[in-house]
């Protein structure tokens, strides 16, 4: 029965993609993050659904008349340059066969983002893409959260099979990244019933992240809580709820869970934590000796014989410091853009959405940056989705701002004068 249901859903996605190419972007997001065919039991489980959808969307994109030029944003050539640099490092990899296999795997992750940039040509379409990503992760997170609560948090919760975040630690980070996206949906939707649903789902998703038993997720949860609290307009309501949750936690969480979290303070005595530090040290020293090409994909097998356990270490260890600089510029540049863009549109009627989008995307990006300090997920599609969504947010925001300047020249002059005054103040 599940096989039939998934096959019907896949067929519906294919038909929707053919009829309207940008629907294919949403379908690819669903099969990337939810991977519904992995929950089947029969022949559909091994069906290359994502690859089928990719080629359908490719053909639909070529035939579509609703395409926009690729946005003129510096992050796009940097992204392409990073991918080209991977080719160079792969030619010098210690394990060529494994490295080329991983290179093509990463390429398959990177290619579909071209569809996002070309087909998502309106703010409404971007909104639906964000909602699709949030719901795809949130669906499994709520399912896992219900299991965690009913089982007394005694078992670890895992992500959708066949995805990059199936492993419990990675899934917890993905869940935490999805929470700000759901809050963005909450802020932007006019439907009260959806707001009630999101309000009910988020505590269950947090329970899911807690039941991952991940120390990295625990730290990420703390950072994300502070960020969301900072942006909350109802701190007087949120703070008592947080205090109550902290006080009630010992009644529901097993002692072994607290014992695992306490190793954050005594990491010197924890073999797992110390082994990670040794891996990071090995990766750093090896990169100092090979600063331009690193060890190549899967180089941990040569350098330390253990996974890197950090996206940052993974990137510079496998590809050297130039690739690391390109990769970090994408992340930090996006962080800066998401922080500065709301200031350009502040107090302008009709552009309130910009701050909502930027602050929630920034929260998701910081959650990624924090959580992957301890997980090797530098090629994660969720990271690049956030980056390219931020590119489109900037594009649409500046277009709307320019349109308002044309309609209201006084507004344009006022903003120009304000900008000039800020430059004079900076000069002093």
Q: Which residue has 């946005």 as its token pair?
A: 71
> Would you say how long the chain is, in residues?
428
- Based on the fold, state whether residues 197 and 333 are members of the same structural domain: yes
The domain of 160 spans: 73-398
- Based on the fold, state whether residues 139 and 23 are members of the same structural domain: no
Question: Which tens digit of pLDDT belongs to each residue from 406-420?
Answer: 777 655 555 554 554
Q: Which residue has 């670890």 as its token pair?
A: 156
Q: How many domains are there within the chain?
A: 2
Q: Does residue 201 fall inside a structural domain?
A: yes
The residue out of 13, 42, 67 marking a domain boundary is: 67
pLDDT at 334: 98
Q: Does residue 426 fall inside a structural domain?
A: no
Question: Which tens digit of pLDDT belongs to each residue from 11-39?
Answer: 999 999 999 999 999 999 999 998 887 77
- Based on the fold, state whether residues 59 and 91 are members of the same structural domain: no
- Based on the fold, state whether residues 280 and 307 are members of the same structural domain: yes
pLDDT at 276: 84
Q: Does residue 387 fall inside a structural domain?
A: yes
Q: Does residue 305 fall inside a structural domain?
A: yes
Q: Does residue 416 fall inside a structural domain?
A: no
pLDDT at 407: 74
Collapsing DSSP to helix, strand or coil, 213 comes out as coil
- Based on the fold, state whether residues 175 and 286 are members of the same structural domain: yes
pLDDT at 114: 95
- Based on the fold, state whether residues 54 and 117 are members of the same structural domain: no
Q: Does residue 362 fall inside a structural domain?
A: yes
Q: Does residue 418 fall inside a structural domain?
A: no
* Cβ atoms of 315 and 327 closer than 8 Å: yes
pLDDT at 266: 54
* Cβ atoms of 120 and 129 closer than 8 Å: yes
d(CA 158, CA 4): 24
- Based on the fold, state whether residues 77 and 3 are members of the same structural domain: no
- Based on the fold, state whether residues 23 and 143 are members of the same structural domain: no
- Based on the fold, state whether residues 299 and 188 are members of the same structural domain: yes
d(CA 228, CA 226): 6
The residue out of 67, 88, 119 marking a domain boundary is: 67
d(CA 86, CA 99): 10
Q: Which residues of the chain carry a pLDDT beneath 50?
A: 269, 417, 420-422, 424-428
Q: Does residue 421 fall inside a structural domain?
A: no
- Based on the fold, state whether residues 52 and 108 are members of the same structural domain: no
pTM for this structure? 0.90
> Helix crossing, 381-407 with 168-188: angle to 10°?
20
């Amino acid at each position: 029965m599940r096989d039939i249901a998934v096959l019907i859903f896949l067929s519906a996605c294919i038909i929707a993609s053919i009829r309207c190419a940008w629907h294919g972007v949403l379908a690819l997001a669903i099969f990337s993050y939810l991977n519904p065919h992995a929950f089947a039991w029969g022949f559909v489980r091994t069906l290359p659904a994502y690859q089928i959808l990719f080629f359908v969307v490719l053909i639909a994109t070529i035939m579509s008349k609703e395409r926009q030029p690729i946005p003129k944003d510096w992050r796009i050539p940097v992204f392409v340059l990073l991918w080209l640099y991977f080719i160079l490092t792969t030619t010098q990899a210690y394990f060529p066969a494994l490295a080329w296999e991983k290179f093509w795997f990463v390429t398959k992750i990177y290619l579909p983002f071209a569809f996002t940039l070309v087909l998502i040509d309106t703010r409404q379409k971007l909104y639906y893409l964000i909602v699709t990503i949030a719901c795809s992760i949130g669906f499994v997170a709520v399912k896992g959260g219900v299991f965690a609560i009913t089982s007394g948090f005694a078992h670890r919760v895992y992500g959708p099979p066949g995805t990059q975040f199936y492993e419990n630690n990675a899934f917890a980070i993905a869940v935490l990244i999805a929470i700000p996206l759901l809050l963005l949906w909450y802020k932007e939707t006019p439907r009260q019933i959806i707001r009630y649903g999101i309000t009910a789902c988020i505590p269950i998703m947090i329970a899911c992240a807690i039941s991952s038993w991940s120390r990295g997720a625990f730290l990420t949860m703390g950072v994300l809580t502070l960020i969301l609290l900072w942006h909350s307009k109802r701190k007087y309501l949120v703070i008592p709820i947080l205090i109550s949750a902290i006080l009630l936690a010992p009644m529901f969480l097993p002692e072994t869970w607290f014992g695992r979290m306490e190793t954050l303070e005594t990491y010197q005595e924890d073999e797992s934590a110390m082994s990670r530090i040794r891996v990071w040290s090995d990766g750093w020293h090896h990169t100092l000796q090979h600063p331009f090409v690193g060890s190549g994909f899967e180089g941990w097998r040569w350098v330390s014989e253990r996974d890197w356990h950090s996206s940052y270490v993974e990137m510079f260890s496998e590809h050297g410091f130039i690739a690391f600089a390109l990769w970090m510029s994408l992340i930090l540049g996006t962080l800066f853009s998401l922080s500065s863009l709301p200031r350009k549109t502040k107090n302008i009627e009709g552009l309130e959405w910009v701050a909502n989008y930027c602050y929630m995307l920034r929260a998701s990006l910081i959650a990624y940056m924090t959580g992957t300090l301890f997980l090797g997920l530098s090629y994660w599609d969720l990271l690049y989705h956030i980056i390219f969504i931020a590119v489109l947010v900037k594009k649409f925001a500046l277009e709307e701002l320019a349109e308002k300047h044309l309609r209201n020249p006084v507004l344009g002059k006022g903003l120009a004068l304000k900008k000039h005054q800020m430059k004079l103040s900076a000069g002093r």
